[in-house]
């Protein structure tokens, strides 16, 4: 059972990273040339996981405000490089939060008000944001030395890298076939 705020902070942070990873995986697979069916299901999972990731991230941040062991201020949570706790890692988490929020906002709220090429460029901010969230978790996360957590982070990185390689390879084949 989760008995204290620190447990909840860790759980929300971990779930946020998990959902953002699932969202990225679904998004990569959905746009891959080799996938012929279930694209709508993957789109729905991609969108849902992204929003769940953002909600968990907001929960992670809000609980940090009330934690008595290491309380954060609003400025600590929203302004990079202010906090004394793992300043670099925490700041990467803050920047990642802004990136994820911008991507979700432009994808689901203001997508109809912008041109597709602009939206697509903004959408790809998610990859550096995901990397920043991973580095944040490794540097600032208290569970980063746990074998299970290390394994999960390693599997998430391998999954994303392999899927991106497969996607780019499939895209290159499609482009070569159309020439």
Q: What is the pLDDT of residues 145-158, one digit of tens each?
A: 999 999 999 999 99
Average pLDDT over residues 62-83: 93
- Count of domains for the chain: 1
Tens digit of pLDDT for each residue in 79-134? 999 999 999 999 999 999 999 999 999 998 887 788 889 999 999 999 999 999 99
Residue 169 pLDDT greater than 80, yes or no? no
Alpha helices in the chain (DSSP H): 5-30, 39-66, 74-78, 87-108, 116-123, 126-140, 147-178
Q: Could you list the residue range(s) of the whole structural domain that residue 33 is in? A: 5-178
Q: Does position 172 have pLDDT exceeding 60, yes or no?
A: no
Mean pLDDT of the 37-48 span: 92
Res 108: pLDDT: 85
Q: What gap in Å lies between CA 13 and CA 141, rounded to an integer?
A: 9
* pLDDT exceeds cutoff 80 at 29: yes
pLDDT band at 34 (very low <50, low <70, confident <90, very high): confident
Query: Whole-prediction pTM value?
Result: 0.90
Structure tokens at 144: 């980063």
Q: What average pLDDT does the structure give for the chain?
A: 91
pLDDT at 14 over 90: yes
**Beta-carbon count within 10 A of 146 CB:** 11
Separation in Å, CA 92 to CA 14, 114, 166: 15, 28, 28
Q: What percent of the chain has pLDDT over 90?
A: 73
Q: How far apart are CA 18 and CA 37, in angstroms?
A: 25
Share of the chain above pLDDT 70, in %: 93
């Amino acid at each position: 059972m989760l008995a204290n705020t620190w447990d909840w902070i860790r759980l929300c942070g971990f779930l946020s990273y998990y959902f953002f990873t699932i969202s990225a995986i679904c998004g990569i697979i959905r746009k891959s040339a080799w996938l012929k069916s279930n694209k709508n299901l993957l789109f729905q999972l991609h969108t849902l996981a992204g929003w769940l990731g953002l909600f968990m991230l907001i929960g992670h941040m809000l609980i940090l405000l009330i934690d008595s062991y290491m309380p954060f201020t609003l400025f600590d949570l929203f302004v990079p490089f202010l906090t004394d706790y793992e300043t670099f890692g925490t700041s990467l988490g803050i920047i990642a939060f802004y990136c994820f929020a911008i991507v979700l906002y432009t994808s689901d709220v203001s997508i109809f008000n912008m041109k597709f090429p602009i939206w697509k460029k903004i959408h790809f901010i998610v990859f550096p944001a995901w990397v920043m969230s991973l580095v944040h978790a490794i540097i600032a996360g208290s569970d980063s030395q746990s074998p299970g957590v290390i394994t999960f982070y390693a599997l998430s990185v391998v999954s994303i890298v392999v899927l991106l390689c497969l996607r780019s390879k499939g895209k290159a084949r499609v482009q070569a076939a159309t020439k």
